[in-house]
Structure 1
Amino acid sequence: MMTIYNCRYHVPRSFIQDGVNELVLFEEFGGNPTLVNFQTLRVGTACGIAYENKDMELSCQGRPISAIKFASFGDVQGTCGSYYKGTCAGQNDALSIIQNACVGKESCTVSASESTFCAADCTEDISKRLIVEAVC
């Protein structure tokens, strides 16, 4: 049985399985609701997005973060499970920074900023963001 507390969301029946279902919904201010998409992930993967000058908190819900599969600061493309670097990225190695800050911990917080990842070679019209895929 699935309980949704906000009547604004419609979950297609094809996504609902017998037994317990978990819906993780990330909302953002100023986002475009027509760009929302559903992603089916295997349990144990956590993905996070933080726009420039915001903090990202990764958590494995009481379990340690065991690995970081992907991390980049810039104009990252793709979806959780299949991210890839876009046309611009921060000069510092985002994967190493996130691994050092998060692996072995139950949660961690990282600032999505140029002071952390160094200047990204993006044009002004590109919105920079930190995207991370962690393994719990």
Structure 2
Amino acid sequence: MLVALWFAACDAQAQSFALNPRAVRFASAVVLNDFHTAQAGGGYVFSYDSHETEASLAAKLDHWFSGKDPHAITMDPAEKQALFGFYWAASMMSANSPCFTDIADPACRDDLTRWMTREMDDDPRFIRDYEAARSALGLPGLAPGSH
């Protein structure tokens, strides 16, 4: 009986969203870089409010990643899923990944691609972490083979 309770407690712990500050900084840097590109008239990945500023966007990202308000950022579900993908990839990278010093570094692109590919291949760690964060971040459900 005690063993069953211990496994249940461990499973409940594994299913809760545990924030990774380094991954939050990386994902926020990706969005802010995209925001600057959009402001300069270039192509962009995420949607932004017409009155958005860098400071307001950074604050919204911090609040959203806190898991306290799934509506803190105004993005469509696919954008939130993509943002979580960047966050997850960064959470899986080693602490000395070049991505944490310069996201423009080609070695960062290689590291990011490696983890994003694992996400697309339904890495069980990604599925577990996504489901744990789904409610807190207001993420859409994952359709089998859709990412």
- Taking structure 1 as the reference length, the TM-score comes to 0.24
Q: Flag the structure with higher strand content.
A: 1
Q: Flag the structure with higher helix content.
A: 2
- Taking structure 2 as the reference length, the TM-score comes to 0.23
Which of structures 1 and 2 has the larger relative contact order (alpha carbons within 8 angstroms, sep 6+)?
1
